[in-house]
Amino acid sequence: MESRANHNQVSHCPNKCLSCVQWLPLFKKKKQNSIEKFQNHDIIVYVLGGPGCGKGTQCSKIVEDFGFIHLSAGELLETEVKTGSETGKMIQEFKKEGKLVPSEVVVKLLKQAMQRSGNRKFLIDGFPRNEENRLTAEKMLGIQPTIVLVFDCSEEEMIRRVMQRNQGRVDDNMDTIRKRLKVYKESTLPVIDYYAKKGKARKINAERPVEEVFRSVEAVFSELGLVKRGKTIV
């Protein structure tokens, strides 16, 4: 007799055995609440830019106005740190050094969050930050971004903003910011170039006040055929 575990992998057991009949409602419930596969019509917006350029600030406004789910790679990693798990301890060491965490760890956390959300419009902030991130997402999630928002800001202004943010982050100090800026230039700019060549990158001047930056963001979303909530969502 086949094991319950095997039958539990399929939605309809041809043998209609007792174990499957018992497990089927659970299986169906799981399917309703989670996304098994990402599809071509899912809208995936990657959000890139140096540390403190205002990615999180703009993402909150996008969520409010356009109904996306916001998944910040940095925040997902921080949540794992707070669990105190072995993986969390390892992540904390990378963050302190301003280094990028191995891609499989980040992509696994992203995948779980995407599946749990049940949403089909994803704003993925702070990802992919290097070529390894990008390739691992393609391999493990099978996703390609619809568009990539790139917030462009001078180093001076980013440093000023990070130092003012002052929320007790282990990486918001002068020494680590310099390392994060170096990682951004060496590892993330090539990813942005890759998407620019594919015609997917939309560069936005993030040096301006929040509302002005957001007007440029809105212009990109209207290009995608999306209009603000409260009006008609196309």
Ligand X SMILES: Nc1ccn([C@@H]2O[C@H](COP(=O)(O)OP(=O)(O)O)[C@@H](O)[C@H]2O)c(=O)n1
Binding site for ligand X (CB under 6 A): 51-52, 55, 73-74, 77, 94-95, 98-101, 106, 126-127, 129, 133, 171, 180
Q: Is 57 annotated as a binding residue?
A: yes
Is 165 annotated as a binding-site member? yes
Return the amino acid letter for 40.
N
Determine the Cα–Cα distance for residues 196 and 200; give it in Å rounded to an integer. 6
Report d(CA 50, CA 188) in Å as an integer. 9
Q: Is 88 annotated among the ligand-binding residues?
A: no
Choose the contact partner of 213 out of ligand X, ligand ADP, none; CB within 5 to 8 A by kind: ligand ADP
Pick from ligand ADP, ligand X, none: which does 161 bind, CB < 5 to 8 A by kind? ligand ADP
Task: Kindly state the smallest distance separating residue 134's Cβ from ligand X, in Å.
Answer: 10
Minimum CB distance to ligand X smaller for 8 or for 102: 102
Annotated ligand binding at 229? The verdict is no
**Residue 115 Cβ vs ligand X, minimum distance, rounded to whole Å:** 18
Residues that bind ligand ADP (CB under 6 A): 49, 51-57, 161, 164-165, 209-210, 213
Q: Using CB atoms within 10 Å of the CB of residue 82, give its burial: 0 to 12 exposed, 13 to 18 middle, 19+ buried.
A: exposed
The residue among 116 and 160 lying less far from ligand ADP, judged by its C-beta, is 160
Tell me the chain's radius of gyration from C-alpha atoms. Answer: 20
Q: Which tokens sit at 64? A: 């409010």
Is 153 known as a binding-site position?
A: no
Burial class (CB in 10 A: 0-12, 13-18, 19+), 54: buried
Question: 127-143 burial, b for 16+ CB within 10 Å, e for fewer?
Answer: bbbbebbbebbeeebeb
* 49 in Cβ contact with 192 (< 8 Å): no
Closest residue to ligand X in the complex (CB): 74
Partner whose footprint covers residue 145, from ligand ADP, ligand X, none (CB < 5 to 8 Å by kind):
none
**CB-count exposure of residue 205 (10 Å: 0-12, 13-18, 19+):** exposed
Known binding residues for ATP: 52-57, 165, 208
Known binding residues for a ribonucleoside 5'-phosphate: 99-101, 126-129, 169, 180
